[in-house]
Structure 1
Amino acid sequence: MQKTVLGTLKVAVPVALGIWLVLHFYRQLDTDQRTALFEAFGRASVPWLVLSNLLGWLSHVSRGWRWRYLLRHLGHKPGFWPCYHAVMGGYFMNMLLPRAGEASRAAMLYRAEGVPFEKGFGTILAERAVDMVMLLGIAGLTLLLQAEKLDLFRTRIAAFRAQQDPSSEGGGLGWWLLGLVVIGGLAAAYLVFTRPALRARLMDGVRGFVEGVRSILRTPDKGPYLFHTVLIWALYVAMFWVGFMALPETRHVPAAGVMAGFIAGSVGIVLVQGGIGAYPAFVALIVSIYMPDGDGGIIRPEALAMGWLLWVAQTLMIIALGGLSLLLVARKRRTP
């Protein structure tokens, strides 16, 4: 019963929060802005979005290749394609269930190449630590690029918070969702401390993470690993930047605005399952600061359209290619 409730909350809370964000930001637009939003969708340049997705796909290819360096140091030599399919399948599963991507990725590599789950999972967690360092580095660089915009950021965020009336329907739902998040966190902590089996699995994950970090520090392929790490994040930023070319109104957003929007979108993906609702909203909230003043309101409809176009394009790619990878791994029979 407890597992069922906790599992339901893990799925329902992020989805509900994403839906609330979609409805909330849509309600912030007046009639003319809503018209401009849908007109922007119609003006989007598909070739630019395709190129953006191609860059995103190359980053996933690079991630699959980079993974092999850590696994090789642990005594395993999986092929590129099994690693790539595990990466893409993990992204697909992560869209369905919170934090399921890492475990699914390790499980798929075990099925395809026989790499022990704990070792594969540990290297994935170590990768996440490296990714966090890269994201924080990009965020720090972004702040340096726009020190003059910090006051405007604070004003925009304050205006957004001022619109969150706790007595309103949207505000009330937001407080309910916050309460559910807190309850879910407390329930997870309770299960960890009261279930020895669950605690043992958690400790196995910690040990795997430590082993993964050691593999990064001790791998003889530090140069190639660092190259692919930089390449992955350069492709992420390029994917985001090229997507801005899809709309005339966003083509002239300065580099500082693109970088700030990239960080905002990354935060949205972390906070809400799959970034639904949060990714477009956070991107629009920040990018609008760098666009010419519109007809009032916190966000520009074209910026919101840009956020949605990027999110939809990336999501469709993950569904198509991630689903294909899952199918191919499921059909593979590992040979000793």
Structure 2
Amino acid sequence: MKLSFKQALQVIASFLVAIFIFWYLYKDIKMDSLLNALQEASSFYIGLSVALSIIGYWLRAWRWKLLIKVGEDKMPSVARVFWALMGGYLANLLVPRAGEVARCGYLTKTDQLPMGKLVGTVILERTVDLISMILVIIFTFFVQRTIFTELLDLLVSQETLEESLIGALPIALGMVIIIGLVLYVVFSKYRESSLIKKIRHFLRDLMTGLKSIKKVDTQTGFWGATLGIWVIYFFMMYFVAIAVPSTATLSASAVLMVMVMGSIGMVAPVQGGIGTFHALVAFILMTYGLTEEDGKIFAVIVHTSQLLTIMGLGVISVVILAKLTSTKQPLLK
């Protein structure tokens, strides 16, 4: 994937921000403390967390395949979709959010599937994930209401938030109207140009992908997989909590709160949530009585175990997808 000079600068800036946050968080943590924590941690439970994460990635690939399947005569195998997904995750570590396009590009090359439709299914999938995360946050709010309320009071002033939203609303509406008018004029004036025809064709494929959820054969399977993915995320975190002595006594509801904060940290536009994940997880653990050092060590163990898993599977996926692209060799369905 080629980047323009401006895009390259944005990627470098994002990476430097992530590294700075990570350095600032861990500059006072001694390496001996981290090594001792790793020695005391249960490799069995950490390994169980990693194994569970791989099952979660496979379940996500299966769910994505359900969306891709709508309206298609030929279908890639779940294995091929899985490797495209992991290749995308690897790309995300290099360029934030680039993996969503990269995984679509892989399947377009290996199976000649419409790029627009694939992007539409990914947007739909991410929208479902966002709504799911909001529902999980709401559920967590009721389970850990006291902690949640304290955090909101500490981090956000309700009065300031309302004033900011009211002030920004007219500007946002104005920008939407202007952009809409510009797009309408351009598409009307140059509708017969080859570029506009390609864009319109891409947008039609995109809408087809977005509508896929209504036509999924296995609605129960799709929504069950969505729930299963979040259940797996929880147990991934829970097993690491059991593995580390300082967090072994945390309740399930506390781990749920940690998972929510970690998920929010992963949404930040930095490579792999580096820094933001660690900061939010360590912060929330301190509210449960852990020391700052213990919170940061737990965060780095959780994040590093998943980072290494993604890197390992991602590298394998690049090799497999390169072979598939050159030979058009099918994988078992």
Q: TM-score, normalised by structure 2?
A: 0.79
Residue 127 of structure 2: aligned partner? 129
What pairs with 1:253-292 in structure 2 (closer than 5 Å)?
A: 253-271=250-268, 272-292=270-290
Matched, 1:67 2:61: no
What pairs with 1:146-225 in structure 2 (closer than 5 Å)?
A: 146-154=144-152, 157=155, 207-225=204-222
268-277 vs 314-323, greater mean Cα deviation: 268-277
Query: Judging changes above 3 Å, is the alpha-carbon distance between structure 1 residues 95 and 220 closer, same or farther for their aligned structure 2 residues?
Result: same
Give the C-alpha shift of residue 47 in structure 1.
1.7
Paired with 2:322 and 2:208, the residues of 1 have a C-alpha distance of: 28
1:55 to 52, 57, 64: 52
2:304 to 312, 316, 334: 312
Query: Judging changes above 3 Å, is the alpha-carbon distance between structure 1 residues 200 and 234 closer, same or farther for their aligned structure 2 residues?
Result: farther
Give the C-alpha shift of residue 222 in structure 1.
0.9
Give the C-alpha shift of residue 78 in structure 1.
1.7
Q: Deviations 1:214-249 (Å, cap 9, x if unpaired)?
A: 110122221111111111121111111111112111
197-206 vs 225-234, greater mean Cα deviation: 197-206
Paired with 1:135 and 1:126, the residues of 2 have a C-alpha distance of: 14
Paired with 1:207 and 1:153, the residues of 2 have a C-alpha distance of: 44
| 2:4 counterpart SS class | helix
Query: Judging changes above 3 Å, is the alpha-carbon distance between structure 1 residues 211 and 306 closer, same or farther for their aligned structure 2 residues?
Result: same
Contact 1:98/1:273 (CA < 8 Å) preserved in 2?
yes
Paired with 1:316 and 1:201, the residues of 2 have a C-alpha distance of: 39
Aligned partner letter, 1:283: V
| 2:250 counterpart SS class | coil
Aligned partner letter, 2:223: L
300-309 vs 33-42, greater mean Cα deviation: 33-42
Query: Judging changes above 3 Å, is the alpha-carbon distance between structure 1 residues 123 and 282 closer, same or farther for their aligned structure 2 residues?
Result: same
| 2:45 counterpart SS class | helix
Q: What is the identity percentage for the equivalent residue pairs of Structure 1 and Structure 2?
A: 27
Q: Deviations 1:145-196 (Å, cap 9, x if unpaired)?
A: 11112354257648xxxxxxxxxxxxxxxxxxxxxxxxxxxxxx9xx989x9
Query: Judging changes above 3 Å, is the alpha-carbon distance between structure 1 residues 95 and 204 closer, same or farther for their aligned structure 2 residues?
Result: farther
Paired residues in the alignment total 292
Paired with 1:201 and 1:38, the residues of 2 have a C-alpha distance of: 55
Query: Judging changes above 3 Å, is the alpha-carbon distance between structure 1 residues 302 and 214 closer, same or farther for their aligned structure 2 residues?
Result: same
Paired with 1:135 and 1:308, the residues of 2 have a C-alpha distance of: 22
Give the C-alpha shift of residue 206 in structure 1.
5.3
Residue 20 of structure 1: aligned partner? 20
Residue 327 of structure 1: aligned partner? 319
36-45 vs 199-208, greater mean Cα deviation: 199-208
Give the C-alpha shift of residue 330 in structure 1.
0.5
Query: Judging changes above 3 Å, is the alpha-carbon distance between structure 1 residues 200 and 136 closer, same or farther for their aligned structure 2 residues?
Result: farther
Give the C-alpha shift of residue 208 in structure 1.
4.2
Query: Judging changes above 3 Å, is the alpha-carbon distance between structure 1 residues 205 and 94 closer, same or farther for their aligned structure 2 residues?
Result: farther
Q: Deviations 1:240-274 (Å, cap 9, x if unpaired)?
A: 11111121110111222211211111121111221
Contact 1:281/1:304 (CA < 8 Å) preserved in 2?
yes
Paired with 1:48 and 1:262, the residues of 2 have a C-alpha distance of: 17
Aligned partner letter, 2:274: I
- RMSD across aligned positions (CA): 2.8
Aligned partner letter, 1:13: A
Mark the runs of 5 or more structure 1 residues left unpaired by the alignment: 159-188, 295-299
Aligned partner letter, 2:138: G
1:102 to 87, 100, 103: 100
Mark the runs of 5 or more structure 2 residues left unpaired by the alignment: 157-178
Paired with 1:205 and 1:268, the residues of 2 have a C-alpha distance of: 32
Contact 1:34/1:301 (CA < 8 Å) preserved in 2?
no
Contact 1:21/1:277 (CA < 8 Å) preserved in 2?
yes
Aligned partner letter, 1:324: I
Paired with 2:153 and 2:221, the residues of 1 have a C-alpha distance of: 43
Q: Deviations 1:31-52 (Å, cap 9, x if unpaired)?
A: 7x87645532332222211111
Q: Deviations 1:275-312 (Å, cap 9, x if unpaired)?
A: 112111211111221135x4xxxxx2111111101111
Residue 186 of structure 1: aligned partner? none
Aligned partner letter, 1:330: A
| 1:86 counterpart SS class | helix
Paired with 1:287 and 1:224, the residues of 2 have a C-alpha distance of: 35
Query: Judging changes above 3 Å, is the alpha-carbon distance between structure 1 residues 121 and 246 closer, same or farther for their aligned structure 2 residues?
Result: same
